[in-house]
């Protein structure tokens, strides 16, 4: 095998943590992320369960079991005596905010749940980065999805059999090859867009390709994501090529390991050049220093792990990252929990490290599959997010279900040790660094090198603002209330939050919809007090507290159709007037903010970027849009709800229409 020479690699200068890191133009920053993994609706909850060593494998819910009975009946079975395997199941895979994305209920029900989930998750990721509200529309942003070609086939077949007249819409809504294109279309993203299938390594391969695309200028930013759900989790005794655990428990690196378990999840990240992220004031979760991709080639079997190929992909990733291998303190392994796979993986890691160091047991190793099972194509992105969260909290979560080391692995003389307890992640003169592996049954292997973000990202000016404005918006009233509660929680956990950064990120980095709330405040206590008052109000339109403004602005909203205040001409005139005042008055006082708030809740289009022109600020992570949980599931003809039925259309080019938005054109 070809040796890789690290001598010519430009290492981080002295590997010393400094207030200012050396910027390598190859480095890629993770500036946004979101995920629903297993039963965890948010990444914060996911992290809590990792630290607590929670095991997420559970039985299928009654609601999902009922839906499966219907599917099995259509497939020719009775649906009786169904046995479902245990897994880290997601909740609400039948829910989707179809109105938000412009779908009719019928079209949304025929769209595969994989594609519905990733649409919402990508939106949340873009907002988490502070680029919501259409800021990326028309931009050179790429989309890279890791999605196996057969994911969701059961739902497609079910939809086709129950909707024989809707073959075209059903087929398009279930084609995984265009899932990435759907995101690009939905968000008007102009960069390269592709769906990658390398089996279990699909998600991490998508990250690798996205980083390359940014490095070579194919795109300025890249959305990377993956999703995996088991539509019909029937336990039919099939052992899935002998890698599944006998009791739905993954015991990675343990002597009693006999296979992996199953899990579900959807997760995505937003990537950008590290140098550009620093320049633009983006939040930076972590830095992707390097990556590598290779193939097993001809080996003992197509689906068998190849130690030589794994060793090579790891060392190539080190070379690409330009780091000293012995500065890596943690590896998130592929770790399927099979006796052969685990021992092969550790052997590859041992041999890779042995080229450059004789140190023993200096690098922690863990596997997310012990907690949530195997997410197949989404496993690599989920593992990456776990590592990023570990860096953020400076703590390595425990590997669970580990009692006795696999006797085929000599951990005593290995550079790695199994991290079976919650470990404070200390550093010794260099940034926190970690590796992430994903190995596909296809033989495609991928490894990434991750480095923590600098503690001091950008020198921002501290604004001694005496007055602030925060606006919240949603397409339904309950959404406003959800956001209010989430901001209260945010402020309770982060009392030291920079209020200027918060307001600028929220006002410029979110969409502005029908239901609008504007809050004027002077400090964090004032804001918390006003948010708390809003929570207890049964009717938001009755709020009379100074500094709180609420309105429903859309002219087509029935209750306001005849209200002149909501006419398009009035809104446009108000928007222009406010913009003129913003341009004339660079010192924003309470009176101007009050005028802006009143105009905003009345429907005015405020140029928030212009309001903050000239200010240096840092985008920060804030609550994202609270999607409505509308059931979108294929129903039999006799059970189909009225709103799901087709409508005849007067449109000259259509016989019928399933998209409500056509009636607004």
| Statement: residue 151 has pLDDT above 90 | no
- CA–CA gap between residue 117 and residue 131 (Å, rounded): 20
23: DSSP letter: P
440: DSSP letter: -
| Statement: residue 655 has pLDDT above 90 | no
Boundaries of CATH 3.30.70.3290 in the chain? Answer: 468-611
- Please state, as a whole number, how many other Cβ atoms lie within 10 Å of the Cβ of residue 550: 21
200 an active-site residue? yes
Catalytic pick from 374, 447, 512, 553?
Answer: 374
| Statement: residue 123 has pLDDT above 60 | yes
Q: Rounded to 5 degrees, what angle do the CA atoms 358, 363, 366 make?
A: 140
Give SS3 for 142: strand
431 contact partners, CB below 8 Å, separation of at least 6: 12, 15, 17, 21, 327, 451, 452, 454
The fraction of the chain above a pLDDT of 90, given in percent, is: 70
Backbone torsion region of residue 213, taken as left when φ is above 0, otherwise alpha when ψ lies between -120 and 50, otherwise beta: alpha
Q: Integer distance in angstroms from the first to the last C-alpha of the chain? A: 63
| Statement: residue 563 has pLDDT above 80 | no
pLDDT band at 623 (very low <50, low <70, confident <90, very high): very high
Catalytic pick from 40, 114, 219, 334?
Answer: 334
- 261 vs 578, which has greater pLDDT? 261
334 an active-site residue? yes
374 an active-site residue? yes
Catalytic pick from 40, 200, 211, 219?
Answer: 200
Claim: this prediction has a pTM higher than 0.85: yes
Quick one: tokens of 297? 């080639």
In 140-281, beta strands by DSSP E: 141-146, 193-196, 221-228, 265-273
CATH number for the domain running over 468-611: 3.30.70.3290
Q: Which pLDDT value is given to residue 585?
A: 64
Find out whether 495 and 526 touch, Cβ atoms under 8 Å.
no
CA–CA distances in Å: residue 606 to residues 499, 517, 554, 577, 595: 20, 14, 15, 10, 11
How does 124-148 read in b/e, with b if 16+ C-beta sit within 10 Å?
A: bbbbbbbbbbebbeebebbbbbbbb
| Statement: residue 16 has pLDDT above 80 | no
Q: Which pLDDT value is given to residue 577?
A: 77
In 385-466, beta strands by DSSP E: 395-396, 416-418, 423-424, 433-439, 444-452
pLDDT band at 299 (very low <50, low <70, confident <90, very high): confident
| Statement: residue 421 has pLDDT above 80 | yes
Find out whether 463 and 501 touch, Cβ atoms under 8 Å.
no
pLDDT band at 663 (very low <50, low <70, confident <90, very high): very low
Which phi and psi (to 5°) does residue 200 adopt? -65, -20
Beta bridge partners of 292: 447
Q: Which CATH superfamily is domain 18-244+268-452 in?
A: Thiolase/Chalcone synthase (3.40.47.10)
41: DSSP letter: S
Boundaries of CATH 3.40.47.10 in the chain? Answer: 18-244+268-452
For the chain, the maximum distance between any two Cα atoms, rounded to a whole number of angstroms, is 79
Quick one: tokens of 604? 């005015």
Q: Mean pLDDT, to the nearest integer, of 103-120?
A: 96
């Amino acid at each position: 095998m070809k040796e890789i020479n690290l001598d010519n690699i430009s290492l981080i200068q002295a590997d010393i943590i400094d207030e200012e890191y050396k910027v390598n133009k190859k480095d890629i920053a993770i500036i946004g992320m979101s995920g629903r993994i297993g039963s965890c609706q948010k990444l914060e909850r996911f992290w809590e369960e990792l630290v607590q060593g929670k095991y997420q494998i559970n039985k299928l819910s009654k609601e999902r079991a009922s839906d499966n009975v219907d599917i099995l009946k259509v497939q020719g079975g009775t649906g009786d005596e169904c046995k479902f395997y245990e897994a880290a199941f997601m909740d609400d895979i039948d829910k989707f905010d179809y109105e938000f994305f412009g779908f009719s209920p019928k079209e949304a029900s025929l769209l595969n749940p994989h594609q519905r989930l990733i649409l919402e998750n990508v939106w949340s990721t873009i907002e988490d980065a502070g680029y919501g509200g259409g800021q990326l529309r028309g931009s050179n942003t790429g989309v890279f999805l890791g999605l196996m070609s057969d994911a969701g086939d059961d739902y497609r077949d079910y939809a086709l059999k129950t909707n024989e007249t809707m073959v075209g819409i059903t087929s398009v809504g279930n084609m995984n090859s265009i899932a990435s294109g759907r995101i690009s279309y939905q968000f008007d993203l102009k960069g390269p867009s592709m769906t990658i299938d390398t089996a279990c390594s699909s998600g991490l391969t998508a990250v690798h390709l996205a980083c390359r695309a940014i490095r070579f200028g194919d795109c300025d930013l890249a959305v990377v994501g993956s999703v995996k759900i088991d539509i019909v989790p029937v336990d039919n005794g099939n052992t899935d090529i002998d890698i599944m655990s006998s009791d739905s428990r993954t015991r990675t690196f343990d002597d009693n390991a006999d296979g992996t378990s199953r899990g579900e999840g959807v997760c995505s990240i937003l990537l950008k050049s590290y140098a550009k992220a620093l320049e633009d004031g983006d939040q930076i979760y972590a830095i992707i220093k390097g990556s590598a991709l290779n193939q097993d080639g001809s080996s003992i079997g197509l689906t068998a792990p190849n130690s030589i190929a794994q060793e090579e992909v790891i060392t190539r990733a080190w070379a690409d990252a330009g780091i000293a291998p012995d500065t890596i303190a943690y590896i998130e392994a592929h770790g399927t929990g099979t006796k052969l796979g685990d021992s092969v993986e550790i052997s590859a890691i041992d041999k890779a490290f042995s080229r450059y160091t004789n140190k023993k047991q200096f690098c922690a190793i863990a596997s997310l599959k012990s907690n949530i099972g195997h997410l197949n194509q989404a496993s690599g992105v989920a593992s990456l997010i776990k590592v990023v969260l570990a860096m953020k909290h400076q703590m390595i979560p425990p590997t669970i279900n580990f009692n006795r080391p696999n006797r085929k692995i000599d951990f005593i003389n290995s550079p790695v040790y199994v991290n079976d307890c919650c470990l404070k992640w200390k550093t010794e003169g260099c940034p926190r660094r970690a590796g992430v592996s994903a190995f596909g049954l296809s033989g495609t292997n991928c490894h990434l090198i991750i480095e923590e973000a600098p503690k001091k990202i950008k020198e921002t000016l501290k604004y001694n603002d005496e007055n602030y404005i925060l606006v919240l918006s949603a397409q339904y009233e309950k959404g406003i209330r959800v956001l209010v509660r989430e901001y209260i929680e945010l402020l309770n956990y982060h009392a030291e939050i920079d209020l200027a950064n918060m307001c600028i990120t929220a006002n410029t980095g979110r969409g502005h919809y029908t239901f609008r709330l504007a809050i004027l405040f002077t400090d964090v206590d004032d804001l918390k007090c006003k948010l708390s008052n809003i929570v207890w109000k049964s009717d938001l339109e009755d709020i009379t507290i100074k500094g709180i403004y609420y309105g429903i602005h859309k002219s087509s909203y029935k209750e306001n159709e005849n209200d002149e205040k909501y006419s398009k001409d009035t809104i446009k005139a108000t928007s222009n007037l406010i913009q003129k005042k913003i341009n004339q008055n660079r010192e924003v006082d309470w009176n101007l903010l009050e005028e802006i708030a009143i105009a905003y809740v009345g429907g005015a289009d405020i140029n928030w970027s212009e309001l903050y022109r000239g200010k240096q600020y840092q985008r920060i992570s804030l609550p994202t849009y609270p999607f409505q949980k509308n059931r979108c599931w294929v129903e039999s003809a006799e059970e189909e709800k009225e709103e799901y039925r087709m409508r005849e259309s007067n449109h000259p080019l259509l016989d019928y229409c399933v998209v409500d938005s056509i009636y607004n054109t």
